[in-house]
Amino acid sequence: MRPFAESVLDVHKPVTEEAAHGATWWVPPIHLETSELDVDAVVAEAGRDKAETCRGLRGCGGERYEAGRTTENWRLSSGGSKHMAEVPPHPTLTGPRALSSVVALGANIICNKIPGLAPRQRAICQSRPDAIIVIGEGAQMGINECQYQFRFGRWNCSALGEKTVFGQELRVGSREAAFTYAITAAGVAHAVTAACSQGNLSNCGCDREKQGYYNQAEGWKWGGCSADVRYGIDFSRRFVDAREIKKNARRLMNLHNNEAGRKVLEERMKLECKCHGVSGSCTTKTCWTTLPKFREVGHLLKEKYNVAVQVEVVRASRLRQPTFLRIKQLRSYQKPMETDLVYIEKSPNYCEEDAATGSVGTQGRLCNRTSPGADGCDTMCCGRGYNTHQYTKVWQCNCKFHWCCFVKCNTCSERTEVFTCK
């Protein structure tokens, strides 16, 4: 019997969407690289009954699953070569297929294979396998937004280092690290809140405290489904902050930036209302809270990145352990504001690849030869110069329909130059 293979929750891939049996498949796939997916091995490692594990799976009992397919259940393959088997994503929890492949394989197996989880995070994963999928989606949302906000800079939200569910982490406590922690914490809170509002996550739903309350002064009452952002923030706090194990200055920095990202999300919650009355009049209004677009959160955190505050740690007199952060200024005892992004080390220039800092460098990056900004070749390439690449783009143009019945087009071409850093 072959051992169950390594797997990675790959949050760097775009989210897959596929409809099957009324359930929305919306999560990033978990890839298992294996030459044989042996159900007996899965059952033994998960400590589960084989009949329970095989329920709903065709041909359950040692056959291999066809690479790259995502269908009602896994497609069975009869070939013998090594391949990539893709576990079907997790459906929403509102249909009859609420227990997905994550549960079918055993939460213990999946959670033990996800890299970079702290013990408390692994415990949450095992007890709430539906939530770990939403967390992965939120982390991916944060990574995508980070890449968008810094797409024209030397640092484009990339890093060298060990992969985690939150991406590859910067090793320097810089303002870039501050942004990545804030945006991923906000992304997880946003995704969990949205999943609760849509009924895609167990043990949560709409904000019940707002239901039925009447605001007499402004003439409207709470109704509809208000997003329970407090639940999302609390879940993000319990899961994301659990990775901070070491008691050092970086831990205080990361926890502060996590909270700053969540606070920005909470402050941007929106109030939406609907009028009720005869002939379009607004005799009464029903209102509810909704999540902001995540792009808006990204813009606000980018602004806070630009004015990030350098801090230093204040240690307890007896234990000499880091206690709190204060702004790093001469004779200053002022603490940073709760929505400030903070950093403890100055940023590297990100020009060269450097494993010590996590910088991947700018070699091979696209640049704009005429731009005076951060995306210009002079700045992006750090004075090393750039290479020029020429290519011709050809396409069909000026198409006309002739009676009867054919379309005639001209062939157009355009010569384009692209510049990359040496």
Specify the DSSP element, H or E, that contains 412: strand 406-421
**Taking the CB of residue 336, how many other CB atoms lie within 10 A of it?**
19
Collapsing DSSP states into helix, strand and coil, what is residue 419? strand
Instruction: Using alpha carbons, select from 406, 367, 131, 99 the residue that is nearest to residue 242.
Output: 131
Q: Which residue has the higher pLDDT, 332 or 386?
A: 386
Q: What pTM did the predictor assign?
A: 0.71
Separation between Cα atoms, residue 356 and residue 161, nearest integer Å: 9
Q: Determine phi and psi for 84, rounding to 5 degrees.
A: -105, 120
What superfamily in CATH does domain 362-421 come from? Answer: Wnt (Wingless and Int-1), C-terminal domain (3.30.2460.20)
Q: What is the pLDDT of residues 272-328, one digit of tens each?
A: 888 877 776 777 788 889 999 999 999 999 999 999 999 988 877 666 667 778 888
**CB proximity list for 199: less than 8 A, separation 6 or greater:** 92, 93, 94, 205
DSSP 230-279: HHHHHHHHHHHGGG--S-SHHHHHHHHHHHHHHHHHHHT-EEEEEEESGG
Q: What is the pLDDT of residues 113-170, one digit of tens each?
A: 888 888 999 999 888 888 988 999 999 999 999 999 999 999 999 887 667 778 778 8
Instruction: Using alpha carbons, select from 88, 96, 103, 108 the residue that is nearest to residue 44.
Output: 108
Q: Determine phi and psi for 74, rounding to 5 degrees.
A: -75, 140
Q: What average pLDDT does range 332-355 have in this prediction? A: 91
Separation between Cα atoms, residue 137 and residue 46, nearest integer Å: 25
Q: Report residue 239's pLDDT band, with 50, 70 and 90 as the boundaries.
A: very high
Q: What is the pLDDT of residues 3-43, one digit of tens each?
A: 333 333 333 333 333 333 333 333 333 333 333 334 444 44
Tokens of 91: 């459906």
Alpha-carbon distances, residue 333 vs 311, 336, 364 (angstroms): 10, 10, 45
pLDDT given at position 165:
75
Tokens of 160: 């060298």
User: For residues 256 and 241, is the Cβ–Cβ distance under 8 A?
Assistant: no
pLDDT given at position 80:
37
**CB proximity list for 100: less than 8 A, separation 6 or greater:** 88, 89, 90, 91, 130
Q: Report residue 234's pLDDT band, with 50, 70 and 90 as the boundaries.
A: very high
Choose the weakest-confidence range: 193-197, 242-246, 257-261. Answer: 242-246
Q: What sign for the dihedral angle of Cα 374, 380, 384, 385?
A: negative
Q: Does residue 96 have a pLDDT over 60? A: no
Collapsing DSSP states into helix, strand and coil, what is residue 73? coil
DSSP 334-400: PPPPTT--EESSPPP---SEETTTTEE--TT-EEBTT--STTBHHHHTTTS-EEEEEEEEEEEEEEE
Q: What sign for the dihedral angle of Cα 53, 56, 57, 61?
A: positive
Q: Indicate the angle between helix axes 175-197 and 129-149, nearest 10 degrees.
A: 130
Q: What is the pLDDT of residues 394-408, one digit of tens each?
A: 999 999 999 888 999
pLDDT given at position 102:
47
Q: Report residue 257's pLDDT band, with 50, 70 and 90 as the boundaries.
A: very high
Q: Does residue 365 have a pLDDT over 80? A: yes
pLDDT given at position 160:
74
Separation between Cα atoms, residue 100 and residue 93, nearest integer Å: 9
pLDDT given at position 313:
84
Separation between Cα atoms, residue 267 and residue 103, nearest integer Å: 36
Per domain, the residue ranges of the chain are 101-210+223-268+289-354, 362-421
Q: Which residue has the higher pLDDT, 295 or 249?
A: 295
User: For residues 161 and 358, is the Cβ–Cβ distance under 8 A?
Assistant: yes
Determine whether 273 is exposed, middle or buried from the number of CB atoms within 10 Å of its CB (0-12, 13-18, 19+): middle
